[in-house]
Amino acid sequence: MADDETYEIYAVHYGHHDRPSSANYIGGDVHDILQPLDYYVWAIIGRGRTYILDTGFDAAMGKKRQRTLVRPIPDGLKAIGIAPERVEDVIVSHLHYDHTGNYDIFPRAKYHLQDTEMAYATGRCMCRSFLKMPFEEEDVVAMVRKLFAGRVAFHDGTDEIAPGITVHKIGGHSKGLQCVRVKTRRGYVVLAADATHLYKHFEEGRVFPTTYNPAEVLEGYDTLRKLATSPAHIIPGHDPDVLRRYPAAKAGLEGWVVRLDADPRQ
Ligand SMILES: [Zn+2]
Ligand SMILES: [Zn+2]
């Protein structure tokens, strides 16, 4: 495998939320411990292009949702040499508020989204407050505006974004949730986003309380395993441990931007 056929992947940490472990699982948790969530966007770089997975939330949304914005996303991207205004492709895992805000920072980008997610976020399920809860009206409207501006590329199920980068519909947590598989120097890495919030969700077959369909969540864990070279190639969407397992992108970025195409610490 020549180097130019693979991609570098970076997790860019931007947000944090302290919560009890019981808040992370349907049925609660027998351990009475703190299990914070961390918030990331991901950058995939190779073949002379940069692909961004998800766009996070900004300071105002963090305040509204009582989540801490640790560092603005553009700062994290600039720290590894990415100019957001030049990015041409943004993949959106799903339309929840913590994955699709900051919609003005990539003015040139085309947004890659599953058909099902757009239909879900603009259809009858949004009449239900339980299902609507993780969505923000302005985020969804911003995506509709991009659609009419010719800036949305739809995908249905499995599709190729570029050679070595594919999206795969998982559903479950949100009806049209997709994960991303990327060819790297260590094999196929799967950016799960919210297909598994924490390592424990897929390792122990447990389900995060925000869900459209728990059966699809559980099936999704099998899909992640099939897509990834090994379980150590699956990257959860909200696990603080990602920042400990993977090396900093460069000196000074410890705990902020880590390199996911590098081998993890065991
Ligand atoms: Zn979500
Ligand atoms: Zn999320």
Instruction: Report yes or no: 134 and 210 within 8 Å, Cβ to Cβ.
Output: yes
Q: Is 1's pLDDT higher than 50? A: no
Bridging pattern class, strands 178-184 and 187-193: antiparallel
The shares of helix, strand and coil residues in the chain, as percent rounded to the nearest 5, are 30, 25, 45
Per-residue pLDDT tens over the stretch 119-141: 999 999 999 999 999 999 999 99
Q: Which neighbouring-strand residues pair with 37?
A: 17
How many angstroms does the Cα of residue 118 sit away from the middle of ligand 1? Answer: 14
Chain position carrying tokens 């739809």: 154
CA-based max dimension of the chain: 50
pTM of the model as a whole: 0.97
How many angstroms does the Cα of residue 4 sit away from the middle of ligand 2? Answer: 31
Q: How confident is the model at residue 203 (pLDDT cuts 50, 70, 90)?
A: very high
The pLDDT of residue 40 is 98
CA 111 – CA 92 distance, rounded (Å): 7
How many angstroms does the Cα of residue 56 sit away from the middle of ligand 2? Answer: 9
Q: Which ligand is nearest to the CA of 212?
A: 1
Per-residue pLDDT tens over the stretch 140-168: 999 999 999 999 999 999 999 999 999 99
Q: Which ligand is nearest to the CA of 15?
A: 2
Kindly state the tokens that stand for 85: 């205004």
Contacts of 250 (CB under 8 A, 6+ apart): 80
Per-residue pLDDT tens over the stretch 231-241: 999 999 999 99
The pLDDT of residue 5 is 86
The pLDDT of residue 32 is 85
CA 146 – CA 142 distance, rounded (Å): 6
Kindly state the tokens that stand for 217: 């969540």
Per-residue pLDDT tens over the stretch 205-230: 999 999 999 999 999 999 999 999 99
